[in-house]
């Protein structure tokens, strides 16, 4: 019994190879999307950090104005009515 492999791949084998090729292409595309999104997130974080640091520097350099403490409200003195007993 001599078993010879055919030079032509079987339909199952070619379908499997095609699925693997498609998976490899999709995987590369997904990795590129993930990397692109990560770059966008880092870029946005840098932009927001620069804005925050500029705002904090501006607040630190601005003169600190301490508002006057609110004046205490004085209660009006209510005079008691005197009863006249007649």
31: number of Cβ within 10 Å? 10
For the record, the structure tokens of 10 come out as 């079987």
For the record, the structure tokens of 79 come out as 């005079």
pTM comes to 0.52
Instruction: Give the pLDDT score at 1.
Output: 47
Q: What is the pLDDT of residues 11-57, one digit of tens each?
A: 899 999 999 999 999 999 999 999 999 999 999 999 999 999 999 99
- Each domain of the chain, given as residue ranges in start order, spans 11-64
Residue 29 DSSP label:
H
Q: Is the pLDDT at 66 greater than 80, yes or no?
A: no
Instruction: Give the pLDDT score at 51.
Output: 98
Instruction: Give the pLDDT score at 47.
Output: 98
């Amino acid at each position: 019994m001599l078993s010879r492999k055919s030079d032509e791949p079987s339909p199952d084998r070619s379908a499997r190879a095609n699925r693997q090729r498609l998976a490899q292409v999709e995987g590369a595309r997904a990795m590129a999307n993930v990397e692109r999104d990560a770059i966008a997130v880092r870029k946005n974080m840098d932009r927001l950090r620069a804005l925050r640091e500029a705002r904090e520097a501006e607040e630190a350099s601005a003169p600190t104005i301490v508002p006057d403490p609110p004046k205490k409200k004085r209660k009006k003195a209510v005079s008691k009515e005197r009863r006249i007993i007649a």
